[in-house]
Chains A and B, each alone.
Chain A
C-alpha cells in the first residue's frame, strides 16, 4: 500500500536567542499508511509537537524529506496543497476560535477554499455532526460555549476542510472523561467515513491507546521505537527510560499475557476479564 505521509531523515532545530540552536528533531524517518492512526508519544520536550507541525506544513524541516502520497513537498505550491490535505488541530485549539457564530467559524476554511452555497452548508453540517455538536449551537457565539464544546467546534473547523490526514497536537488535554470519549468517537467516525489517517501527538499513551494502530516513541528529538500495541506490550519495560509508562489497560494485558492468558483485545474490559477468568479457572483447577 502506498504511504500517505512520510518523513525521511527529517531534522529541525529551533533558534534560541544568544545560545545558538536547539535541536528539536534528529533524523526522523517514519510513514503513515492510508487510514492508519499513529500516536506520536514522548515526554515534555521530546520533539513531538515539532513533528506534528512539520507534517502539517506549518514548519519546514531543516533537513530530510517530507513526502505526501509519494511526492516530495518542495516549494510553496506543494506546501500550500499539503495544507489543504493535512488538517492540524493545535494544542488548546479553542484559543483559535474567532468568528461571531459557530457556523461561521466552521465555514471559514472551506469558504477560503472556494466552497459556496449549498455545498458550504452541507460541509458545515456534516462537520458539526462528525464532532457530535448540537446543530442548535451553530448560531451561538463560540465564546459562549464550554471548553469541551469549543474544542469540538475547532475540530469541526479542521474536518470541514475534509483532510485526508488529521494531525492532532495533545487533543485530550483539559477535557474530562466525557469530553475525551466524545472526541475519540468523533475521530473514529471521521476515520471510518473518509478513510483518513491520523497522527495523534500525546504525552501519555492512555488516551490514544484505544485508537492507535502504531506508536512512534520520541525522546530527545529522536525516534526511538515504532511499534504496534502488541509490540509495545512486549517491550514495555523500555518506556520508563523514555519517561513514559504503559496505560493501566496495557499493564493489565501484559501481566495476563505473561501469566499465559493473553486477552484478544487489549483495551476492552470484557476481553481482559475473559483472560482473567481463564487464569482463575486454570489456577482453581490446579488447586
Chain B
C-alpha cells in the first residue's frame, strides 16, 4: 500500500456530527478538525464531552450521522468494505479498557497478532515485536498471560500491539489512565518520539499534564470544540479550563493568582521551572 503521504496522511472531519442510536441529542456536533501525520495532538474534555466518540469516528468504528470523516485517504462512510483492511492497517487504536483488546495467551503473541493478520513475513513480525516490546518497556512481560497482568501492564501491552502494526496514526483513548508515573512518562515520551518519526498521534486524556508536550490541544465540551490551539495558549487560562471541567496545571493557577495581585506574569508559563526563572528575574 503506497499512498502519497501529502494526499492521504491526514484525518479530516468536516461538519462531523454523531448521534447514538436512540439518543435525543448529538454526542458530537459539527466538528471541523484536521489531524496531520508527524504531529502530536491531545484531546481533552470532561467525562461525556465526546472524546471517545470522536476517537471512534476518527478510526472508522463509528460512522458520522452527518458530515464526513476522511481517514488516511478513505471516506469512512464508504460501505463497499474494500478499504476496511487498509484503514485498520494504517490506524493503530488503543482503547480505554485494555480487557476488550486482549486475545492471545502471551504478551508476545498478543503483540504479534496484528502484524500476523497483515500477512507479514515471520522475521519481520519477530523484529517488530522485539522493537515495540523494548520501546514500551515490557520485555520482561513477554511470556506472561495478558489477562493475568495488572490493568496498567495490560494498557502497555495494548499500546505495543497497536504500534506493532506500524500505523500512520496512533489513536490512544485514555491508554495511560492506569499507568504509574514512570510508565506514563515513558509513554508520553514514546508518543513524542513516534511523532518525530512521522506518525500522527492523537492522545485522548483527562490529564492536562500529558497535553503540555503536544503540538496542538483540542478541548471538547458537550460534543463541540470548545478550545483549540498550542498548549501555551490553551492550557494557560485556569478559569476557562475549570469551566470546561478540567483540572488546570497548578503552575497556571499560581500564575493567575499572581496576576490578580497585580504582577505582570508572562503568558504561556506551563512549567514550574519557567515560573521560578521568571520569579528570579
A residues touching B (Cβ–Cβ < 8 Å)? Answer: 42-45, 91, 146-148, 170, 173-180, 203-204, 243-245, 247-249, 251-252, 255-256, 259, 269-270, 272-273, 276-277, 279-280, 283-284, 287
Given A179-B47, A259-B279, A251:B272 Cβ within 8 A: yes
**Cα–Cα distance between A277 and B275 once the two chains are bound (Å):** 11
A45 to B182, CA, bound (A): 12
A203 CA to B207 CA, complexed, in Å: 14
Interface size class of B (residues with CB under 8 A): 35 or more
Segment among B28-36, B62-70, B114-122, B254-262 that sits at the interface with chain A? B254-262
Closest-by-CB residue of B relative to A175 is: B47
Minimum CB–CB distance from A175 to chain B (whole Å) comes to: 7
Contact A280 B263 (CB under 8 A): yes
A176→B206 contact, CB < 8 A: yes
With a cutoff of 8 Å between Cβ atoms, the chain A residues found around residue B258 in the complex are 273, 276-277, 280
Q: How far is the CA of A176 from the CA of B281 in the complex (A)?
A: 36
Main SS at interface, chain B: helix
The answer to whether B257 touches A270 (Cβ under 8 A) is: yes
Asked if B152 lies at the interface with its beta carbon under 8 angstroms from chain A, I say: yes
Residues of B within 8 A of A179 (CB): 47
B48 and A178 contacting across the interface, CB-CB below 8 Å: no
Flag if B257 contacts A44 (CB, 8 Å): no
Q: Are B183 and A249 in contact, CB atoms less than 8 angstroms apart?
A: no
Given that A178-B245, A270-B257, A273-B258 are known contacts, is A280 also in contact with B279, CB under 8 Å in the complex?
yes
**A273 and B279 contact, CB distance less than 8 A:** no
The one of B150, B180, B245, B275 that contacts A252, using a Cβ cutoff of 8 Å: B275
Contact of A276 among B151, B245, B275 (CB under 8 A): B275
- Any A CB within 8 A of the CB of B219: no
Q: List B contacts of A280 (CB < 8 A).
A: 258, 263, 279
Q: Which of B150, B151, B182, B242 contacts A243 (CB 8 A)?
A: B182
Q: Is the CB of B179 within 8 A of A252?
A: no
A–B pairs, 20, beta carbons within 8 Å: A43-B180, A44-B153, A91-B151, A146-B47, A146-B48, A170-B178, A176-B206, A177-B246, A177-B247, A179-B47, A203-B152, A203-B179, A203-B180, A203-B181, A245-B185, A248-B272, A270-B257, A276-B254, A277-B258, A280-B258
CA distance A146 to B152 in the complex (A): 23
Contact with A along B22-60 (1 / 0, CB 8 A): 000000000000000000000000111000000000000
Q: Establish whether residues A244 and B247, one from each chain, have CB atoms under 8 Å apart when the complex forms.
A: no
Cβ-based interface call for B209 (8 A): yes
Output the least CB separation between B210 and chain A (Å): 12
Say whether A147 contacts B183, CB under 8 Å.
no
Could you tell me if A248 and B249 are in contact, using CB atoms closer than 8 angstroms? yes
Q: Give min CB distance, B252 to chain A, whole Å.
A: 9
- How many angstroms from the CA of A253 to the CA of B66 in the assembled complex? 49
A284 near B281: Cβ-Cβ < 8 Å: yes
A272 cross-chain contacts in B, Cβ below 8 A: 250, 254, 257
